[in-house]
């Protein structure tokens, strides 16, 4: 039985399931569902879905870009960006753990013939302008043509410095390169920094924003950039089978999320901080200090599976990453859920 199933079957302290695996597990509330049901729709491939158009325009404006493109997922958004920026035989530079390189199935190489030069990251997920400069290939036919730098913000919950990312962008442009920002959780970074989203994305020529993580929509991302860039990405979206028809039903959820779920991300950050503080009292459990909505813990190797089973019996689900496990707060996690989770951890560790 899956841990989710175990929790459903055995939760005794409460019938409520506390799912801390990711902020992708959120479910649309009644108000969002009403917005979806009432959405004006049309055939988006023909450019006739007014709700999709409104979402694309709103997101682009929030990020300070000319145009947007609604797509099925963050993976598709990043892939479309790579295909629009790079040709076959060219390469992009990215941090070694960044999603565009490490966690999206190698799509750029498989589908685009695009090479990648991964760079070592520091403890907070950052790369430096000096690393980027040294990775850019000379004009030599022995090497792929370096065309793009891919950044990410946040990285595993760590907020990246706007100033450092801008310095990287300056290096890139000095060498004629473009910059793409995987901003799947860019709104978490903006809220944590207290800066407008457009400032966080200003370093990049294109930005991918996920709607189905902390923002709480059921599906979708928006890729933003110049009008010419989005026209190229739209062509690739069709080629990849990503052209959607009456997609306004989904886009309406994204619009609702942008209108109602951005500022409240601060609640997730506060819940993550409280969770980390509570778990820090557990002897034998290492806990990192969160910056946004992710708490990383490092149980002893022999403790992880017994801990997961202990929590599942109490209706609390966590992932099983090693050596550090990620606990993610989101709009379906309340302050009461946090206290219940702390109590369950302390019962396991007898803290």
Closest listed residue to residue 218, CA positions, set 36, 44, 68, 52: 36
C-alpha to C-alpha distance for 244 and 242, rounded to whole angstroms: 6
What integer is the mean pLDDT of 189-210? 98
- pLDDT confidence of 351, banded at 50, 70, 90? low
C-alpha to C-alpha distance for 232 and 230, rounded to whole angstroms: 5
DSSP lists the bridge partners of residue 282 as: none
* Whether pLDDT at 12 is above 70: no
Asked if residues 114 and 137 have their Cβ atoms less than 8 Å apart, the reply is no
* Whether pLDDT at 16 is above 60: yes
What integer is the mean pLDDT of 13-36? 93
Count, residues in the chain: 351
pTM score over 0.85: yes
What integer is the mean pLDDT of 170-185? 98
C-alpha to C-alpha distance for 319 and 184, rounded to whole angstroms: 20
Three-class secondary structure of residue 72 per DSSP: coil
Question: What is the reported pLDDT for 51?
Answer: 98
- 3-27+264-349 maps to which CATH number? 3.90.1150.10
The first and second tokens of residue 56, run together, are 């694309």
Convert the pLDDT of each residue in 99-108 to its tens digit: 999 999 999 9
* Whether pLDDT at 173 is above 90: yes
Question: What is the reported pLDDT for 1?
Answer: 41
The first and second tokens of residue 203, run together, are 């370093």
The first and second tokens of residue 150, run together, are 């891919």
C-alpha to C-alpha distance for 349 and 351, rounded to whole angstroms: 5
Average pLDDT, the chain: 95
Asked if residues 290 and 23 have their Cβ atoms less than 8 Å apart, the reply is no
Q: Are strands 285-287 and 18-19 parallel, antiparallel or unpaired?
A: unpaired
C-alpha to C-alpha distance for 136 and 50, rounded to whole angstroms: 42
User: pLDDT above 70 covers what percent of the chain?
Assistant: 96
Strands (E), the chain: 18-19, 67-71, 90-95, 115-119, 145-152, 178-183, 206-210, 221-225, 285-287, 294-299, 316-317, 325-328
* Whether pLDDT at 11 is above 50: no
Question: What is the reported pLDDT for 9?
Answer: 42
Convert the pLDDT of each residue in 226-275 to its tens digit: 999 999 999 999 999 999 999 999 999 999 999 999 999 999 999 999 99
What integer is the mean pLDDT of 160-164? 98
Question: What is the reported pLDDT for 14?
Answer: 55
CA distances from 16 to 19, 127, 215, 327 (A): 10, 41, 21, 17
Q: Can you say how many angstroms the Cα of residue 336 is from the centroid of all Cα atoms in its chain?
A: 25
Q: Write b or e for each residue in 30-40: b if 16 or more Cβ atoms lie within 10 A of its Cβ, otherwise e.
A: eebeebbeebe
CATH 3.40.640.10, the chain: domain bounds: 39-260
Check the CA dihedral 136-137-143-145 and report its sign: positive
* Whether pLDDT at 7 is above 90: no
Residue with tokens 């409240």: 264
Convert the pLDDT of each residue in 231-245 to its tens digit: 999 999 999 999 999
- pLDDT confidence of 15, banded at 50, 70, 90? confident
Domain 39-260 in this protein, CATH class: alpha beta
- CB neighbours of residue 244 within 10 Å: 20
What integer is the mean pLDDT of 287-292? 98
CATH 3.90.1150.10, the chain: domain bounds: 3-27+264-349
Closest listed residue to residue 325, CA positions, set 288, 274, 277: 288
Closest listed residue to residue 136, CA positions, set 172, 107, 164: 172
CA triple 225-226-230, angle to 5 deg: 70
User: pLDDT above 90 covers what percent of the chain?
Assistant: 95
Question: What is the reported pLDDT for 2?
Answer: 53
What integer is the mean pLDDT of 293-311? 96
Convert the pLDDT of each residue in 74-91 to its tens digit: 999 999 999 999 999 999
């Amino acid at each position: 039985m899956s841990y989710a199933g175990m929790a459903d079957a055995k939760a005794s302290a409460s019938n409520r399931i506390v799912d801390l695996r990711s902020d992708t597990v959120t479910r649309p509330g009644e108000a969002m569902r009403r917005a979806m049901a009432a959405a004006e729709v049309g055939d988006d491939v023909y450019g006739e879905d007014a709700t999709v158009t409104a979402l694309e325009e709103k997101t682009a404006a929030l990020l300070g870009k000319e145009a947007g493109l609604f797509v099925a997922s963050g993976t598709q958004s990043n892939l479309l960006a790579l295909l629009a920026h790079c040709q076959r035989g060219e390469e992009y530079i990215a941090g070694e753990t960044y999603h565009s390189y490490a966690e999206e199935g190698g799509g750029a190489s498989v589908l685009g013939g695009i090479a990648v030069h991964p760079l070592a990251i520091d403890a907070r997920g950052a790369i430096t302008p000096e690393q980027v400069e040294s990775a850019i290939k000379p004009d030599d036919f022995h090497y792929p043509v370096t065309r793009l730098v891919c950044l990410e913000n946040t990285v595993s919950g760590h907020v990246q410095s706007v100033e450092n990312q801008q310095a990287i962008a300056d290096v890139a442009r000095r060498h004629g390169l473009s910059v793409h920002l995987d901003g799947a959780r860019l709104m978490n970074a903006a809220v944590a920094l207290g800066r407008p989203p457009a400032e966080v994305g200003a370093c990049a020529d294109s930005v991918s924003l996920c709607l189905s993580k902390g923002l709480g929509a059921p599906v979708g991302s928006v890729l933003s950039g110049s009008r010419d860039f989005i026209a190229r990405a739209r062509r690739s979206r069709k080629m990849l089978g990503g052209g959607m028809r009456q997609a306004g039903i989904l886009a309406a959820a994204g619009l609702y999320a942008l209108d109602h779920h951005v500022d409240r991300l601060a609640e997730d950050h506060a819940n993550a901080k409280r969770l980390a503080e509570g778990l820090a009292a557990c002897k034998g459990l290492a806990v990192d200090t969160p910056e946004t909505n992710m708490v990383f813990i490092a149980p002893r190797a022999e403790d992880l599976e017994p801990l997961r089973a202990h929590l599942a019996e109490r209706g609390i689900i966590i992932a099983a990453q090693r050596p550090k496990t990620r606990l993610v707060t989101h709009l379906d996690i309340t302050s009461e859920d946090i206290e219940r989770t702390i109590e369950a951890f302390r019962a396991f560790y007898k803290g």
